[in-house]
Structure 1
Amino acid sequence: MSFLESVNALLASGTWHSGLAVVKGLRNGAVYGAKIRFPHALVMTFLFHSGSIQDKVRFILRATYMHSRNLASFVFIYKFLMALLNRFSGVQFQWHSLLAGFLGGYAVFGENNKINQQINLYLLSRIIMGLCKVGVDQGFIPAPRSDPFPLFGALVWAIVLWLFEHHRSTLQPSLRASMTYLYKDSDVFTSLRNFLLYNK
């Protein structure tokens, strides 16, 4: 049996499954983080950042590395703690995911930087919706009689535009840059060229 066949047999056997799942989680976190951050950083950097091409490339690679590293680290810590808690208790309890997520989140996503802010804020909006659905499913919140999404959309956009117009400094720099481009730069034009062909 070749080395590759031996490795494949080990992986298929389920031996050391929890430990190998932790390693695979590390790998998946790194790959997913890079796949998500690279295109975002590429577009945002070339749209809104000034500087040389080398500076822009360095920024893109640094942001991609940080997102990938943080996600890989978190997945590793979370899966390791879940495996440990399950091994000690013999069964998985709901509080295991809360504890493992809390500890991993504190260790990895507790550092206040731009990448972590974006990731945490991205998750916050989704967990609020998820918690509302859990509340309805569990009977803590009455089921809406009609789709609440139009009201949700209206409130989100009303609040973000109010913040942008009157408390702009409170918004994240990337959001502020996007909104400035959309709502303020579109006020500036003096000729057909900077009206249609380029901004400002």
Structure 2
Amino acid sequence: MAIFSSRTFSLKSGGIVIVRSALPDDAQAILDVATSVLAENQFTLTTVEEIKGLQQQVERIADMNQAERAIILLAEVDGRAVGAADFRCGTKKRNAHHGDFGVSVLKPWRDQGVGHALVTTIIDWAAAHPDIEAVRLSVDPTNARAIAVYRKLGFVDEGVLKRSVKYEDGRYADSLLMRRDV
């Protein structure tokens, strides 16, 4: 199972962020973070319209908590959800040794260390699983803030997927693939 006790990190502002496994009862908090981030962030792949409903989110969290090679996290400051992340390994025998993750942080909490805490927790969790060899991600190459965090945490560029994202207005964007061995 992918549930672990909480971890505490210091924020740049001097406060504390607690990162813990999300539970089915946290589904609304996860939805609130996702909805807020997707509504204002140009760098996301998922759109607000694609967000799953509350019941589907409850089921997704429960499923991820039962999986051996997946984890879903919630970041809280003073009991309020300020970020979330999830990681899932490949489901085939030949790609189960690595997984991909996504991170969402509410705008007022960016540049405070919340994203760093979430990604650090994913790295450490993956490193504690001998069958997991690497964590990977895809990021918009113009998202300098996120790329700086990933590079600081030891991620390296693997390549670029050209025109991998198509926006509603017909514009395309590339995706930068990054990896960190654990």
Higher helix share: 1
Give TM-score scaled by structure 2 length: 0.30
Higher strand share: 2
